[in-house]
Homo-oligomer: A and B are copies of this chain.
């Protein structure tokens, strides 16, 4: 028992009267109102927002759904925390709180989100880890819950989205490696059906085709998004009959493991194999320095939050003309890991 019921029992007054007194309704006499407010103060009463949410239709909470699990965040996270930092910067302007919904990889994300919707505590939702087909979009659309996705999908209900420019990464990398004389280029993709894997591999294939080259199916390596996954890719690459001379690592959390796997085989990135990856807080400490694609995760978070608010009636006027769907550019930072030219 808590909140208003406790107050009412303490004062031996009806819940309705206590509620009217707390909400400043005129039909409560002053002596009663004074008693209620004093008791509320001394008992530390705080209005239960569940009730408020039902009445006002808003909770002041925006939820960010991310995927967790031993294979995904088991070694920590160097992506979302920085994105959250940017999201919070925007929400702080409006006294909105960010809440992170951790969906374990062992759970169906759609079932998980159904519970979130049922609980009704978020005014808006940011979805990440978008899949090739993603039922979550339709669920939120049906319930008229404002949302934005970090990532695209073949599923599309017209919602706003922001996605990293994996196409740009594919084109720039392939052109660069081909210019350095590489003909057998390997690429990586997530182990599951994240949409980005399809986008990235398809565009790599197209870019190679422009140069009259093909992507060998045996040179597309799937891995979990962690260092163990990177290490496994190194092993798989070493086992190839025709070994690629270059590789694009699409995930930023696999590089250290990949380097280690190469090192164990006596191969040095930038000398024996060209490597292009994604920047992480740790990539600057790698030797040789990684040639990588970099972006400001904090700015990405700011952009995500503003584009979401632009679709919510209460905030839309503050964020006019926000683009509703856009690719976030990544910048190539040249390092030492792809510094070699083939004959």
A81 B101 Cβ-Cβ under 8 A:
no
A3 to chain B, nearest CB (A): 7
* 10 CB < 8 A contacts A-B: A46-B118, A50-B120, A50-B121, A54-B54, A74-B81, A75-B82, A76-B79, A85-B104, A99-B102, A100-B100
A97 to chain B, nearest CB (A): 6
B46 A69 Cβ-Cβ under 8 A:
no
Instruction: Write out the residue numbers on chain B whose beta carbons fall within 8 Å of the beta carbon of A114.
Output: 46
A288 to chain B, nearest CB (A): 14
A73 B68 Cβ-Cβ under 8 A:
no
Q: Taking the full assembly, how many copies of this chain does it contain? A: 2
B81 A78 Cβ-Cβ under 8 A:
no
Chain A interface, >50% SS class: mixed
A74 B85 Cβ-Cβ under 8 A:
yes
A98-113 CB contacts (< 8 Å) to partner B: 98-102, 104, 106-107, 112
Of B100, B139, B281, the residue contacting A75 (CB under 8 A) is B281
A1-15 CB contacts (< 8 Å) to partner B: 1-3
B92 A82 Cβ-Cβ under 8 A:
no
B70 A85 Cβ-Cβ under 8 A:
yes
A119 B49 Cβ-Cβ under 8 A:
yes
Counting CB contacts under 8 A, is A170 at the interface?
A: no
B100 A99 Cβ-Cβ under 8 A:
yes
Instruction: Write out the residue numbers on chain B whose beta carbons fall within 8 Å of the beta carbon of A48.
Output: 54, 118, 120
Counting CB contacts under 8 A, is A34 at the interface?
A: no
A118 to B73 Cα, complex, angstroms: 31
Of B50, B53, B227, the residue contacting A281 (CB under 8 A) is B227
A54 B44 Cβ-Cβ under 8 A:
no
Closest to A114 in B: B46
A279 to chain B, nearest CB (A): 12
A256 to B287 Cα, complex, angstroms: 14
Counting CB contacts under 8 A, is A221 at the interface?
A: no
Of B53, B76, B92, B260, the residue contacting A81 (CB under 8 A) is B76
A81 B85 Cβ-Cβ under 8 A:
no
Counting CB contacts under 8 A, is A77 at the interface?
A: yes
Instruction: Write out the residue numbers on chain B whose beta carbons fall within 8 Å of the beta carbon of A46.
Output: 114, 117-118, 143
A242 to chain B, nearest CB (A): 30
Counting CB contacts under 8 A, is A60 at the interface?
A: yes
Counting CB contacts under 8 A, is A84 at the interface?
A: yes
A77 B74 Cβ-Cβ under 8 A:
no
Closest to A46 in B: B118
Instruction: Write out the residue numbers on chain B whose beta carbons fall within 8 Å of the beta carbon of A61.
Output: 119, 121
Of B44, B50, B70, B81, the residue contacting A77 (CB under 8 A) is B81
Counting CB contacts under 8 A, is A294 at the interface?
A: no
A99 B98 Cβ-Cβ under 8 A:
no
Of B50, B97, B260, the residue contacting A54 (CB under 8 A) is B50
